[in-house]
Amino acid sequence: MAQTGPNSAQNQPAPSTLLPAVNGWQTDFVESLYAQYKADPTSVTPEWLNFFRGFELGLALEATPATAGATTQPPPSPEVAAAAATAQTSGAAAAATAQPRSSPEGAPAGATAQSSGAPAGATAQTSGAAAGATAHQRRVDDLIHRYRAFGHLAAQLDPLGTTRPFPEQLTLEAVGLDDGALGQAFDPGTLPLDNPSPLGDIIACLESTYCGSMGVEYAHIGAADRRAWLAKRLEAARNSPRFSGDTKRRILGKLLEADSFESFLANRYVGKKRFGLEGGESLIPILDQILESGPALGVQEFMLGMAHRGRLNVLANIVGKNLQQIFTEFDEAWTEAFATGGGDVKYHMGYSNEHTTSTGQKLRVVLAANPSHLEFVNSVVLGRCRGKQRLVGDTERKMVVPVIVHGDSAFPGQGIVAECFNMMHLDGYTVGGAIHVVVNNQVGFTTNPRDTFCGSYCTDLAKAYDCPVIHVNGDDAEACAWAAKIAIEWRQAFGHDIVVEMWCYRKNGHNETDEPMFTQPVLYGRVKKARPAFKTYRAQLVSEGVVSDAEVDAMLAARTAVMDEAQSAAKKQPIDPVIDPFKNVWSGLTGQYSHEPVVTKVPLDTLESLARKLGELPGHTTVHKTIARILEGRAGAIATGTIDWALGELLAYATLLSEGHPIRLSGQDVERGTFSHRHAVVNCQETNEGYCQLNNLGDAQARFCVHNSPLTESAVLGFEYGYSLGDPRMLVIWEAQFGDFANGAQVIIDQFLASGEAKWKRSTGLAMFLPHGYEGQGPEHSSARLERFLQLCAHDNMQVVYPTTSAQMFHLIRKQVKQGFRKPLVVMTPKSMLRLPAAASRVEGFTDGHFRAVLPDPAIAREVAEGVTKVLFCSGKIFHELHAQREKSGQDTTAIVRLEQLFPFPDAAINKVISTYPNAKRFVWVQEEPRNMGAYRFAQAQLKELCSIDVGYIGRPDSASPAVGSAKQHAIEQDKILTEAIGAAKAGDGPAGGPSNKDGKQEKPAHK
């Protein structure tokens, strides 16, 4: 072992379990490929062939015998080969790996030789001594590169003092050097040292940069300029920036606030859950330094998302939530929302405030409300950011910046973290990068890290997305502050995510009433002895003469007095802990639902001109012949007097846009539409260029933002929910591919959409379009689980609808923006009904009328209504089938009443319709879903409770699965329902079991 310096192996305690090396898999891969190449050079791809040839050329040069002191050259270390290969495999990175020595990147010797392309003959001409010096220099270059790539493995990250074995990659032996070289002078490349400098100084510089309280992973990043940026940023200051006295006092002040806040709560609210930050207090200076750096880098607003741990501390000391409000919550002295089953625990609440930096600059800081469900808020924060960015015209995405705080267990465990990383640079979802701070307190509830993630670090996932990862020791407050500064600078420079992982510990149990000694006795033995970061930093600054003990005591006393006063004030005068959400962009809107009709009709000439525009294409576009027909149909539709579903939907958008309401439609394949009905974007058959008629309606129109989404339900729905919070005047719609897939986003539905308003007073007008309907497509393509949404309904929290005509859909979409309140809108949307003539509406339905929650039977004229003895209630597509069956059966004593809206339950409208059938004796709910699904149970209870109507049931029997797999069996079941509800069709009337078109043929959803 020939390494000196603070991290040398001699100084290490007995090694603990060796963690798998970073990039271990790549090493194996490269090694196996190298073996393959040795056995048969033609068996690897030309790129790899060149790479290994170059590598061997480099090795041959290294092995020049004139090298004084060199014994045998060690074989290429797998890590070096892997690091070089990683860069080699991405085009831009290949060049980066093969940097010349003067590059801040350094480069493995082999790769350098390869890149120089120097012919062997040229080398042979150099003198033996020069070749020896060159070879030595290459080894030093290699060592510099290794520190940049693997130095983090030797960093001192754990405040509890756990050390990791000194990485073999950083020993002198590994690069073919020994102690004899330490005194020799070498070119240090771009390191901030004299040229030449003794190797000992070069190593000391590298160790202080890469192996101190901060370890940085960035060798995996593909882009050379980004790696160079980081190398420069880290090395110029040796990763130990000289903070001014003011900054040091600021950092200390923030630590003091963090520390004293938890102590105050611990003393005044003994045993109350607060998920304290003790052990991780440096989170506060980290966030504060991000805020401090923001204005100079163009930031106007930070959007924060975080879970339970330290949240109250962040609310108090970063977001600036009024302490009186926080203590009111601790005293549970404000109960307004509890009466309606609302409110949330204090460590889930959001807040927003104006923040003033130490230099007097103003920023907006928002902390999103958060359910207990870890990490789901991330997508919400991103969407909200995007909404805000659009509102403030932040086209470069530098003014509104997301900061997301994670736990060490949740980050690698919850899949939505990866889903959000994946959206980083997607056109419809990018926010220009997020800053992630992982509070690694080395435990998750009672679970140890080894049971939580399987890589080297809990943050390994981020490397797959080319993010730098800064690991920092939470006990070194200045290193934490430095990490924060680098993070915000990186984000503003590259618009790319970055992760700061702060190693710390959790002073108490998972919460204040938990006993950690049950499960982590050894760890907690060490935790008990740990000295708080505040005390450590205080001592440091006192010894540096930056502050005196007396000054710190005075700061502490002043802070305690502030908290004391706030607590007394809260006891005397509790204040509403939640700020009024209907301010700023939300002003003028409410959260109060109303059944009042909303004016959504549109004049005929407007419809005509917009329909024409929807049929237009620029002259140079070569259009597919089917699309050409569709466009023709759009242009001439109004003249036919009928508007089908697709055009009804497009006209709803077009009218809103031309009235100045922006719209965002996102979901899988929404541009074309899963069922090929929408064609909101038409692609040129030659260039593939897309044309969106909805964005070419006229100069004054608002924008139609339509985005085919990545294949996730959770992150995208969360994103759209967040977007709807950020911009309540934009109509935001998420469409599921099939409604069946929406339950992939169940957490977002349950925790945010359905209950967010009750818990956090946050309204949303997000619309969800969920294709639903029984059409013989099997159990996974039939049901949007209507019953689930209905089960979530209470206190007018959302609108659940199942419209049956194009005019109803038109009014519904327009109403969602035009109405003065914001409530989620859950729509069961059609598949076969898209093309069903009976679902198309007359033009008058658009130029007149409004959305109607209940539709009376259109076939029962007023004068025969008295003859009705049986009323069928239903919702959605089955209406058209029942109606067709009745036509075929020829009977007229049964009325079919449609509940187009299921919630808020339209009891008054139902009573009104029913009063027109005075002789009705039998009431039946008819549905195509199984009895334990669909709207039956909900509707039955509501009809009984609110309308005093007892309904019978006709539909599929209880079932564990939503639908059968066989289309034939489906048709038999469907026919049975119709026969039972209406009576048998007269002979020769064709098949039942699905809506029929004009020719009596059964409609098929055009799902491609």
Binding site for ligand TPP (CB under 6 A): 309, 372-374, 407-410, 439, 441, 443-445, 506, 510
Picked from ligand TPP, Mg ion, none, the partner binding residue 613 (CB below 5 to 8 A depending on kind) is none
Could you give phi then psi for residue 419, rounded to 5 degrees? -60, -40
- Token pair, residue 560, equals 């305690």
- Which residue number, 184 or 743, has a Cβ lying nearer to ligand TPP? 743
CB of 698 to ligand TPP, least distance (A): 47
Site for Mg ion in 734-763 (CB under 5 A): none
The nearer residue to ligand TPP, 510 or 886, going by C-beta atoms, is 510
Q: Are 960 and 940 in contact (CB under 8 A)?
A: no
Of 176 and 371, the one with the shorter C-beta distance to ligand TPP is 371
Task: Name residue, tokens 């030797």.
Answer: 154
Tally DSSP H helices, then E strands, for the chain.
33, 26
Q: Using the rule CB under 5 A, is 310 a contact of Mg ion?
A: no
The residue (of 373 and 703) whose beta carbon lies closer to ligand TPP is: 373
Q: Find which of Mg ion, ligand TPP, none residue 882 binds, CB within 5 to 8 Å per kind.
A: none
Residue 443 vs 533, nearer CB to ligand TPP = 443
Nearer to ligand TPP, 753 or 793 (CB): 753
DSSP H or E run through 769: strand 767-771
467 CB contacts (<8 Å, ≥6 apart)? 221, 421, 436, 496, 497, 498, 499
Distance CA 569, CA 934 (A): 52
In the list Mg ion, ligand TPP, none, the entry touching 694 (Cβ below 5 to 8 angstroms by class) is none
- 373 interface partner picked from ligand TPP, Mg ion, none, CB below 5 to 8 A per type: ligand TPP
In whole angstroms, the minimum distance from the beta carbon of 444 to Mg ion comes to 5
- Applying CB under 5 A, does 407 fall inside the site for Mg ion? yes
Residue 374 contacts which entry, ligand TPP, Mg ion, none (Cβ below 5-8 A, type-dependent): ligand TPP
Shortest CB 532 distance to Mg ion, Å: 18
CB of 520 to ligand TPP, least distance (A): 12
If the CB atoms of residues 444 and 667 are measured against ligand TPP, the closer one turns out to be 444
**Distance in Å, CB of 502 to Mg ion, minimum:** 11
788 binds, among ligand TPP, Mg ion, none (CB under 5 to 8 A by kind): none
Q: H or E segment at 171?
A: none
Point out which span in 153-161, 443-451, 628-636, 713-721 binds Mg ion (CB under 5 A).
443-451
Q: Which does 309 bind (CB under 5 to 8 A by kind): Mg ion, ligand TPP, none?
A: ligand TPP
For ligand TPP, which is the closer residue by CB, 137 or 313? 313
Q: Which residues contact 652 (CB under 8 A, 6 or more apart)?
A: 809, 810, 811, 812, 813, 814
Select 160 or 297, whichever has its Cβ closest to ligand TPP.
160
Least Å from the CB of residue 318 to ligand TPP:
16
How many Cβ atoms sit within 10 Å of the Cβ of residue 901? Answer: 22
Which of the listed partners (ligand TPP, Mg ion, none) does 479 bind, with a CB threshold of 5 to 8 Å by partner kind? none
Amino acid at the residue 815:
K
Binding partner of residue 390 among Mg ion, ligand TPP, none, CB cut-off 5 to 8 Å per kind = none
- Residue from 839, 783, 834, 810 nearest 959 by CA: 783
Cα–Cα nearest to 507, from 521, 523, 528: 528
Q: How far is the CB of 501 from ligand TPP (least distance, A)?
A: 12
Closer Cβ to Mg ion, 275 or 923, answer by number: 275
Q: Which is nearer to ligand TPP, 355 or 510 (CB)?
A: 510
Least CB distance to ligand TPP at residue 124 (A): 59
- Which of 939, 901, 903, 927 shows the shortest CA–CA distance to 804? 901
Query: CA-to-CA distance for 525 and 167, rounded, in angstroms?
Result: 27
Nearer to ligand TPP, 134 or 441 (CB): 441
Provide the residue type at 338 as one letter.
Answer: F
Which one, 272 or 976, has the nearer CB to ligand TPP? 272
Residue 169 CA from chain centroid, whole number: 36
List the one residue from 383, 444, 955, 994 that touches Mg ion (CB under 5 A).
Answer: 444
Options 72-80, 405-413, 729-737, 925-933: segment touching Mg ion (CB under 5 A): 405-413
Q: Which does 445 bind (CB under 5 to 8 A by kind): ligand TPP, Mg ion, none?
A: ligand TPP
> C-beta of 760: minimal distance to ligand TPP in Å?
17
220 binds, among Mg ion, ligand TPP, none (CB under 5 to 8 A by kind): none
Interaction between residue 408 and Mg ion (CB under 5 A): yes
Taking the mean position of all CA atoms in its chain, how far away is CA 226?
24
Residues 423-442 that bind Mg ion (CB under 5 A): 441
Which lies closer to ligand TPP via its Cβ, residue 372 or residue 915? Answer: 372
Tell me the closest approach of the beta carbon of residue 371 to ligand TPP, in angstroms.
8
Q: Specify the residue, 453 or 769, whose C-beta has the smaller distance to Mg ion.
A: 453
Residues in the interface with Mg ion (CB under 5 A) total 4
d(CA 402, CA 723) in angstroms, rounded, equals 13
What are the backbone dihedrals phi and psi of residue 565, each rounded to the nearest 5 degrees, phi first? -65, -45
Apex 140 CA angle, 138 and 145, nearest 5:
95
Supply the DSSP symbol for 557.
H
Q: Compute the least distance from the CB of residue 694 to ligand TPP, in Å.
A: 38
The tokens of 442 are what? 């080395």
Q: Closest residue to ligand TPP, Cβ-based?
A: 407
| Pair of tokens at residue 43 | 């068996």
**DSSP assignment string, 178-209:** -GGGTTSEE--TTSSS-SSEEHHHHHHHHHHH
Answer for the pair 537, 531: CB distance below 8 angstroms, yes or no.
no
The β-bridge relationship of strands 690-691 and 469-473 is unpaired
Handedness of CA 649, 653, 659, 662 (dihedral sign): positive
Contact of residue 146 among ligand TPP, Mg ion, none (CB under 5-8 Å per partner type): none
Q: Identify whether the C-beta of residue 368 lies closer than 8 Å to the C-beta of residue 581.
A: no
Closest CA to 763 of 588, 606, 900: 588
Q: How far is the CB of 798 from ligand TPP (least distance, A)?
A: 23
- Provide the minimum distance between the beta carbon of 707 and ligand TPP in the complex, in angstroms, as a whole number: 27
410 binds, among Mg ion, ligand TPP, none (CB under 5 to 8 A by kind): ligand TPP
Partner from Mg ion, ligand TPP, none binding residue 650, C-beta < 5-8 Å depending on class: none
Q: How far is the CB of 92 from ligand TPP (least distance, A)?
A: 35
**Residue 649 to residue 677: CA distance in whole angstroms:** 10
Closer residue to ligand TPP in complex, CB, 283/716: 283
Q: Give the DSSP per-residue string, 283-345.
A: HHHHHHHHHHHTGGGT--EEEEE--STTHHHHIIIII---HHHHHHHHTT---GGGGGT----
Q: Is 375 in the site for Mg ion (CB under 5 A)?
A: no
User: Which residues within the stretch 332-371 sit at the binding site for Mg ion (CB under 5 A)?
Assistant: none
- What's the min distance (Å) between Cβ of 916 and ligand TPP? 50
Q: What is the CA radius of gyration of the chain?
A: 34
CB of 408 to ligand TPP, least distance (A): 4
> Minimum CB separation from ligand TPP for residue 446, in Å?
9
Sign of the Cα pseudo-torsion (622, 623, 629, 633, in order): negative
User: Which C-beta is closer to ligand TPP: that of 377 or that of 971?
Assistant: 377
In Å, what is the CA distance from 240 to each residue of 211, 226, 285, 778, 841? 11, 20, 16, 62, 71
Q: Collect all residues with Cβ–Cβ distance below 8 Å to 791 and sequence separation of at least 6.
A: 938
List interacting residues with Mg ion (CB under 5 A).
Answer: 407-408, 441, 444
